[in-house]
Structure 1
Amino acid sequence: MNSTVALTTPPSNVTPFGVKGLAVFLILLCLAPAVPSVQAQVAVPPSTTINGVAGSGIGSGVGSGVSTGTLVSVPNSLQGLLRRGGTPASLEQMRLLEQQQQQVSKLARDCTVSVQIGAAQGCGVIITDTGYILTAAHVAMRPNKSAVIRMSNGRTVMATTLGMNRSVDAGLIKINDGQNEGQPWPHATLGTSDKLVPGMWCIATGHPGGYDRERGPVTRVGRILTVRPDAIVTDCALIGGDSGGPLFDIEGRLIAVHSRIGNDVADNLHIPVDHYDISWKRLAASEAWGVLPGFRPVLGVSGNQSESVARVREVRKGSPAEDAGLMVDDIVERFGDVKVTDFGSLIKAVADTMPGERVEVWVNRSNQRVRVVVEIGRED
């Protein structure tokens, strides 16, 4: 029986974005070649609550530290804009809103980090004093990968990717222990995405175009346009490299994480923070599941799953496999850092990648070991 790699990823259980949603593309366009995996010993934080609602493990300040987070008291005159959004009613209110946003931005710098895996760069946000980082799944790529974390002051530490819910593009990373002399990491104050409404003001930080120490994290201010169960849409302009960065409300509470952008600069999608709470145990346990609608990974080869090796029986015209130089009768032996034993294992390895990721593939071609580099495609 022939099987096509492109069609084997499990279907998403999340409502599709619709015609326009399918046109969106990942902020981080070029992902890096695979790097050696690192197995981390990670303890799941104790159960906590978010805004009085029982959660499955995520919480602000989990651990023994005393970091004050990013919370900024909101003046009474801005309470309406905090809860319902809208336009400032006076010049004075506008000035107060600007001051509020500046205070949040200043605190957000310390917990907004650059995430580098191989040659690929994205962002993340530290959310506990023990070093847990929320990011986008397409930034984290897959569990147990080594990541370089750069703080706003230029300091570099090492971390390990944990789990990811690809259905909503949510990923989790943990800074490796023993790198901060027992001191707490600066972290964001957690909010909730449950009561967000269109018109609310929001503040985005990140590293557009990649990390630049002299420039530091870049702040953009905007408003929420649409609230959906699977995504928040804002007019905070995002650029390649911002993926995985934080989105705050004007009180300084983390409400979402940057995911991807659409055809218009005002069409920016973010992962609601509550998804991390709902899936916390699975994420912290390094599970990976789902696929983002419209972003099913494609290699473009077919083979026989009953055969004892991953022999390529067909290469699709115009596919990533053809572009990379894969040929009929090639036997795939390694896909990135995954050993391939048969065509079924190749299918699984492709399903664990993200569109745009560049993967080193080793094949046996007429008893010669040949290396090709494939840029994973996306199912139309």
Structure 2
Amino acid sequence: MRTKLIMMGLLLAGTSSLLHAQMDLKPEALQRKIQACIAKSYAASVFIADYDTVAKRNNGQLFSGVVVSKDGIVLTAAHVGKTGKIYKILFPDGKETIAIGMGRIQRFDAAVLKITKPGSWPYAEMGWSSSLKVNEPCLSIAFPGSFSPPRPVIRFGYVANPLDARRRTIRTTCLMEPGDSGGPVFDLYGRVIGLHSNITVELENNYEVPIDVFRKYWSAFMKQQDYTELPQEEVIPVDPLAHRRVSFSDISGVEKNLADTELKLKKLTVQLAAVPDTSRAVGTIVKFKDLKNNLNSTYIVSKNSLLPGSVIAMIVDGKTQPLKVIYRDQEKDLLLLEMDKVTKVGIDLSTRSKDTLAFGDLGKVLISPHPRNEGKISVLGTLRFNLPGLYSTGYLGSRIEMENGRNVVKLVQEKSPASNFGLKIGDEVLSINGIAVSSPEQFIKEIQKTKPNDVINLITKRDGTENKIAIKLTRRPNSTSTHAAERFTDGKSDRRDGFKHAFVHDGKLKPAECGGPLFDLQGNFVGINMARYSRTSSIAITAAEVRSFVLEALDASQKISTSK
């Protein structure tokens, strides 16, 4: 609740008192500052991979960092960056280069890399951590490990503790997970104030290496040395913007402001339930008018996998009202329901909406209203992309690699379908479902086309003999990891990937809150929430993708004809 209050306080601080410099933090003004910060710092936030220069491939840890000088000084965390090791640096625009590990101080989890190729690299300004204030807004741009291929994801939060003495860190509410380690946290001036270090299970506990650690030992970090004893300190200059730091101090009345903000948007949502099952989801009320086909109806769109069975009802004032199931799309994980009467409220899908998200849209403040509870406030974290099905596809439990021109099984998980049906390490995979396997990547693409309980037919070769193997795939097993990132409250959605036209925001959605709409500050329909993907990320699909689904569903149910 405290995270929610602070976030909304920052968004709705028109009548609130501010410590230090006065600043207009009305929602639109705050959004502009977030987006200005992104424009200034995004290009310098980098993905880093342990790199084998002989085999020319990533070899080990994948993490994040930030370039802080034109000649390529990269700051990261010491638990991932090692002195003398070679790393590949990937910039958000796709450019790649090589860096080497320089100074490292494990006591503070701080490390420096240096890009080896001369050049003028995008970089972010180093800020100060000593001048940070409690509840000061901040922003993270890093590469969470749950996404492959890697992509920068933006998260908004505030400084909860400028210096945790026991941990020697800053504590913020910018969500973090494995892969984010070493990623930068910025103040609203676009300056680096800390680097992602570690977390606990609680979502509010994200610990950052203070930027002043690097200032204090800058000369030592420029040497290729792993320090077991603290090197000589340097004098840290005073932050020239210390007097302009802004921190929100009064959050009273925020809940009322939130209710006022969400009142209209809340009416566009409905609580849904599968009957007699106890499954719940949020529904998005939409209207579709097609004069050509004499159609003017009100529908509800929601997340299909949350609402199994043939009877779906909306819950109004504690009573269930059955709805007509018009169409289910298993691949898109969307469900279309029809209300028995046309309502005055509903998102109008009769006209087209854009299906693009531009760079300037990053950092937009988004609202996810809920029919019963307080809504979620978040920021747009990525551009639009297609999220491959990994957790939602069939599970085989093996890995193949190219070896001397052959696609060879290198891993078979214990008690997996691969193991149970006789696939063994060392087998050469020749084909899958009649398609010749040309590479491990192509094999993966074929697996990604499957669903749990599908049967795949492999032709393999073992000791010179070809064999035919039919393997029934299963659902991917739940993670057994004890890492804090896997144990956050409410957890991940069961169906959380395999979506086209998707984007990420940092709303802390519960899985049962998916299916509901997402709006920007102007009340424009942005999309529908589809999944809580990970500790850091919720997934939504664009408004244009929703409209496309509704058209397909109405066409399939013969409500309209989209054929020419």
Deviations 1:323-364 (A, max 9, x none): xxxxxxxxxxxxxxxxxxxxxxxxxxxxxxxxxxxxxxxxxx
- 1:236 maps to what in 2? 174
The structure whose residues are more often strand, as a share, is 2
Deviations 1:232-263 (A, max 9, x none): 00111111100111111111111111111112
Q: Distance in 2 between matches of 1:189 and 1:81?
A: 25
* Aligned with 2:69 (options 128, 137, 150): 128
- 1:101 maps to what in 2? 34
CA displacement at 1:177 relative to structure 2 = 2.5
TM-score between both structures, scaled by the size of structure 2: 0.34
CA displacement at 1:216 relative to structure 2 = 3.3
- 1:245 maps to what in 2? 183
* Aligned with 1:147 (options 87, 95, 115): 87
CA displacement at 1:209 relative to structure 2 = 1.4
Name the amino acid aligned to 2:66.
V
Q: Distance in 1 between matches of 2:156 and 2:141?
A: 9
Deviations 1:93-133 (A, max 9, x none): 22101111012123322100011012210001000000000
Change (3 A) 1:156 1:82: farther
Q: Distance in 1 between matches of 2:189 and 2:92?
A: 21
- 1:216 maps to what in 2? 151
Once the two structures are superposed, the pairs formed by residues 186-335 of structure 1 within 5 Å of their partners are: 186-209=122-145, 216-228=151-163, 230-290=168-228
CA displacement at 1:277 relative to structure 2 = 1.0
Q: Provide structure 2 residue ranges, at least 5 long, that are not aligned to the other structure.
A: 1-13, 51-58, 230-564
Q: Distance in 1 between matches of 2:195 and 2:116?
A: 22
Q: Distance in 1 between matches of 2:42 and 2:222?
A: 25
Report % sequence identity.
28
Q: Distance in 1 between matches of 2:147 and 2:91?
A: 10
- Given that residues 98 and 117 in structure 2 are in contact (C-alpha distance below 8 angstroms), is that contact kept between their aligned partners in structure 1? no
Name the amino acid aligned to 2:126.
L
Q: Distance in 1 between matches of 2:126 and 2:209?
A: 14
- 2:114 maps to what in 1? 174
Q: Distance in 2 between matches of 1:82 and 1:209?
A: 37
- Given that residues 113 and 151 in structure 1 are in contact (C-alpha distance below 8 angstroms), is that contact kept between their aligned partners in structure 2? yes
- Given that residues 82 and 249 in structure 1 are in contact (C-alpha distance below 8 angstroms), is that contact kept between their aligned partners in structure 2? no
Q: Provide structure 1 residue ranges, at least 5 long, that are not aligned to the other structure.
A: 1-76, 292-380
- Given that residues 232 and 271 in structure 1 are in contact (C-alpha distance below 8 angstroms), is that contact kept between their aligned partners in structure 2? yes
- Given that residues 46 and 89 in structure 2 are in contact (C-alpha distance below 8 angstroms), is that contact kept between their aligned partners in structure 1? yes
Change (3 A) 1:84 1:212: farther
TM-score between both structures, scaled by the size of structure 1: 0.50
Question: In the comparison of the two structures, how many residue pairs are matched?
Answer: 204
Change (3 A) 1:109 1:197: same
Q: Secondary structure at the match of 1:108?
A: helix
Change (3 A) 1:83 1:244: farther
- 2:260 maps to what in 1? none
CA displacement at 1:89 relative to structure 2 = 7.6
Q: Distance in 2 between matches of 1:256 and 1:241?
A: 16
Q: Secondary structure at the match of 2:79?
A: helix
Relative CO higher for 1 or 2, CA cutoff 8 Å, sep ≥ 6? 1
Is the radius of gyration larger for structure 1 or structure 2?
2
Change (3 A) 1:177 1:119: same
